[in-house]
Amino acid sequence: MMDRVEVESKHAPPLAECASCEHMLPPGLGDITCEICGAGCRVTHDLTVEALIDEKVPCPHCHTILVAGTDERPIDLTCGSCSGGFTLTPKVIKLEIECPGCDRTLRIRPKPGKRQLNCPACETAFHVTF
Ligand SMILES: [Zn+2]
Ligand SMILES: [Zn+2]
Ligand SMILES: [Zn+2]
């Protein structure tokens, strides 16, 4: 019995903005609902879709190269060589934000709306809005 392992996808669509309130939309492709104003937005990005369908992933069990074949993430894949299964998960998008207090670069996962960040180096608290 092999454990189900997760492999992070290498491709992600660029972050999109809500057409009605201009806040960041949750990452993903297709019909996305804005978390701020509730508007439904259709996000498409052909280059990312092609890259996701053609994405080559090494099987984490036997290292055979598999092709994802779909732009859906997460997607469960089964290796043809070793029958091992794994889940190809969406790429985690991180943004770099400069601390206004000490110019240190913080890498954060963007979430729609306003949030407070605390710099781990100088303890400055500041707000960012996506
Ligand atoms: Zn919105
Ligand atoms: Zn395999
Ligand atoms: Zn700082």
DSSP for 71-123 reads: S-SSEEEE-TTT--EEEEEPPPP-EEEE-TTT-PEEEE---SSEEEEE-TTT-
Other CB atoms closer than 10 Å to residue 117's CB: what's the count?
15
Task: In whole angstroms, give the CA distance from residue 81 to residue 42.
Answer: 38
**DSSP state, residue 61:** T
What is the model's pLDDT at position 38?
A: 97
What's the pTM value of the predicted model, to 2 decimals?
0.80
Looking at the structure, do residues 111 and 72 belong to the same domain, yes or no?
no
pLDDT tens sequence across 81-94: 999 999 999 999 99
Looking at the structure, do residues 29 and 64 belong to the same domain, yes or no?
yes
Q: Residue 90 in contact with residue 28, Cβ under 8 Å?
A: yes
Q: How far is the CA of 89 from the centre of ligand 2 (A)?
A: 17
pLDDT at 2 over 90: no
Number of domains comprising the chain: 2
Looking at the structure, do residues 63 and 116 belong to the same domain, yes or no?
no
Looking at the structure, do residues 78 and 99 belong to the same domain, yes or no?
no
Looking at the structure, do residues 16 and 58 belong to the same domain, yes or no?
yes
What is the model's pLDDT at position 69?
A: 97
Q: How far is the CA of 26 from the centre of ligand 3 (A)?
A: 27
Looking at the structure, do residues 17 and 71 belong to the same domain, yes or no?
yes
Looking at the structure, do residues 70 and 105 belong to the same domain, yes or no?
no
Q: How far is the CA of 14 from the centre of ligand 3 (A)?
A: 27
Q: How far is the CA of 98 from the centre of ligand 3 (A)?
A: 8
pLDDT tens sequence across 14-33: 899 999 999 999 988 899 99
Q: How far is the CA of 95 from the centre of ligand 1 (A)?
A: 20
Q: How far is the CA of 25 from the centre of ligand 3 (A)?
A: 27
**32-54 average pLDDT score:** 96
For 97, 105, 111, 115, the CA distances from 124, given in Å and listed in that order, are 13, 13, 20, 14
Structure tokens at 118: 């605390």
What is the model's pLDDT at position 28?
A: 87
Domain carrying residue 112: 95-129
Looking at the structure, do residues 73 and 99 belong to the same domain, yes or no?
no
Looking at the structure, do residues 41 and 83 belong to the same domain, yes or no?
yes
pLDDT at 100 over 80: yes
Looking at the structure, do residues 117 and 74 belong to the same domain, yes or no?
no
**DSSP state, residue 51:** H
